[in-house]
């Protein structure tokens, strides 16, 4: 079959964000848009020639078409072998595991994570490196630079492969292995958590509810929770991946999962629930009448790490993204292990994991992970929580309240102002940035400012520096306020305001979160003039 070298020209705006290139489907569907970015990857990563590549995605609209295109381009660039999930499906943590298991040079992962799908929705593509993690900033910069000086792309002129057929196929000289996307991942999970204890807990009559939100996590959840652990049939809901995620929003947080929250309310509710996002790397954990924040989930897993086989006797360090609450910091200090604060973006955890400095990490955006892969892992997080329930023989709420009683409660919330003009979002950020040098010692809504800065991170492993990672204001009374413009949307801007207040006294732990944070919310408005500069009376999403 002939190989084609086709002329092209650079396309503006193909700069990857914190998790690859995410744009509207209509953009990716334009001639050469996908091909240009994939060509930029091959230009920036010449080691893919003669190597193994992992390929798959979350099943959203354009996924199958993109997989076929990338296969033909991989053949044209001399890739020796591609491991692709059946029907082009592969969760992000499973892709990370396959890279590490097979010694692949990297993976091309097709997902826009928690963003909506369908013809009017979003599409995404990112490259993960040989360690299994997202490309670091130096490589994403190189991919973007390559995208801006293209004159051609190379692709094989071959028929589409049958991706429903498991096993080996040939595309030119390249081997294509179509594999069960769940099998290797499920085998890994059984080495990390106590499946026997969880089975016994389920056999004792405890009930689960897992919501895959019509995304790729469904097949993984059915295999693990129903087939291997023995949960009742139909414990996994919305399990069939759909190109438009059933018309819903594949974002596992209270604002987008009202049916699951209702299911978990009242005395007849299941004992445990979890929801997963589009590519199954994010998670929301719930108990009966109990919804965890991701920050609390990370802290509780750290505090109970000795109960999980994966961590027993080997938890030396944890890490969190800067906007994530400092709940895990308190645990680390009390139990004597290291705690690192990184910028937002899972790639920043990679060096710490590879160096063995941390074994557990998480972000406030419903991402929790560990050193078994180099991505956040939603299904694993649910299994780890089930491990705690089975061993401690307590409910989710009992574990949470006991944790607060021991370590204190970090009241925490994120207020998202979505779909702003870039100008409006930047205006708020610039107003706050301009005040940073003079904030220390001043008072906002009755709170005295201790420190204020624009977070910069120096990687303790390789010394690389990342500037401008979010605006932080810390108050004398321990409250903390953080502002960022999100890099994961596909249009406009999202202003994220993070609010945190530590309360040690258990008698005050029952407060409503927004009421507990009311003074800090007022301080954010006084500082950023958010209503005036954005025209919004309130946040669009509060989690």
List active site positions: 113
Q: DSSP secondary-structure letter at 225? A: I
Report the distance separating Cα 261 and Cα 489, nearest Å.
Answer: 25
Nearest to 21 by CA among 144, 104, 103: 144
Q: DSSP secondary-structure letter at 251? A: -
First CA to last CA distance, the chain: 53
Sequence length of the chain is: 543
Token pair, residue 310, equals 């994966």
Bin 59: left if φ > 0, else alpha if -120 < ψ < 50, else beta. left
Report the distance separating Cα 411 and Cα 325, nearest Å.
Answer: 9
Sequence-ordered alpha helix ranges (H) in 57-178: 63-76, 92-102, 137-147
H or E stretch covering 185? helix 183-189
H or E stretch covering 302? helix 294-303
CA distances from 540 to 323, 380, 515, 543 (A): 19, 30, 18, 10
Report the distance separating Cα 341 and Cα 322, nearest Å.
Answer: 5
């Amino acid at each position: 079959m002939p190989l084609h070298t086709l002329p092209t020209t650079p396309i503006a705006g193909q700069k990857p964000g914190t998790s690859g290139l995410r744009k509207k489907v209509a953009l990716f569907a334009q001639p050469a848009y996908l091909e240009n970015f994939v060509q930029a990857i091959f230009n920036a990563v010449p080691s893919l020639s003669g190597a193994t590549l992992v390929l798959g995605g979350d099943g959203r609209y354009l996924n199958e078409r993109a997989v076929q295109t990338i296969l033909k381009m991989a053949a044209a660039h001399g890739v020796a072998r591609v491991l692709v999930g059946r029907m082009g499906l592969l969760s992000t943590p499973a892709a990370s595991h396959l890279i590490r298991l097979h010694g692949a040079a990297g993976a091309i992962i097709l997902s826009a994570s928690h963003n909506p799908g369908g013809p009017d929705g979003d599409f995404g593509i990112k490259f993960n490196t040989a360690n299994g993690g997202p490309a670091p900033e130096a490589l994403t910069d190189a991919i973007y630079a390559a995208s801006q000086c293209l004159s051609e792309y190379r692709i094989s002129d071959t028929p589409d492969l049958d991706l429903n057929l498991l096993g080996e196929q040939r595309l030119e000289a390249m081997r294509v292995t179509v594999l069960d996307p769940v099998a290797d991942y499920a085998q890994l999970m059984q080495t990390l958590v106590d499946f026997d204890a969880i089975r016994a807990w389920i056999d004792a009559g405890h009930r689960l509810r897992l919501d895959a939100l019509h995304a790729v996590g469904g097949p993984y959840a059915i295999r693990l929770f129903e087939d291997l652990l023995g949960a009742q049939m139909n414990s996994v809901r919305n399990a069939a991946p759909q190109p438009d995620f059933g018309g819903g929003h594949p974002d596992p947080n209270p604002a987008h999962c009202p049916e699951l929250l209702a299911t978990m309310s009242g005395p007849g509710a299941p004992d445990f629930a979890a929801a997963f996002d589009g590519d199954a790397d994010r998670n929301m954990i719930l108990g009966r009448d109990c919804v965890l924040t991701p920050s609390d989930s990370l802290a509780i897993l750290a505090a109970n790490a000795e109960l999980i086989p994966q961590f027993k006797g080997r938890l030396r360090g944890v890490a969190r993204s800067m906007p994530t609450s400092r709940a895990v910091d308190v645990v680390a200090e009390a139990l004597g292990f290291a705690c690192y604060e990184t910028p937002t973006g899972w790639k920043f955890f990679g060096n710490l994991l590879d160096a063995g400095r941390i074994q557990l990490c998480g972000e406030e955006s419903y991402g929790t992970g560990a050193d078994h892969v180099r991505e956040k892992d939603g299904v694993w997080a649910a299994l780890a929580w089930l491990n705690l329930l089975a061993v401690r023989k307590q409910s989710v709420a009992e574990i949470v309240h006991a944790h607060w009683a021991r370590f204190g409660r970090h009241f925490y919330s994120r207020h998202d102002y979505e779909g702003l003009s870039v100008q409006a979002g930047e205006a708020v950020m610039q107003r706050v940035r301009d005040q940073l040098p003079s904030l220390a010692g001043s008072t906002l809504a009755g709170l005295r400012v201790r420190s204020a800065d624009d977070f910069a991170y120096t990687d303790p492993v390789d010394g690389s520096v990342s500037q401008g990672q979010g605006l932080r204001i810390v108050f004398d009374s321990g409250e903390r306020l953080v502002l960022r413009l999100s890099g994961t949307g596909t249009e406009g801007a999202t202003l994220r305001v993070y609010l945190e207040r530590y309360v040690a006294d258990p008698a005050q732990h029952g407060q409503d979160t927004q009421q507990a944070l009311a003074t800090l919310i007022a301080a954010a408005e006084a500082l950023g003039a958010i209503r005036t500069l954005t025209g919004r009376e309130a946040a669009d999403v509060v989690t």
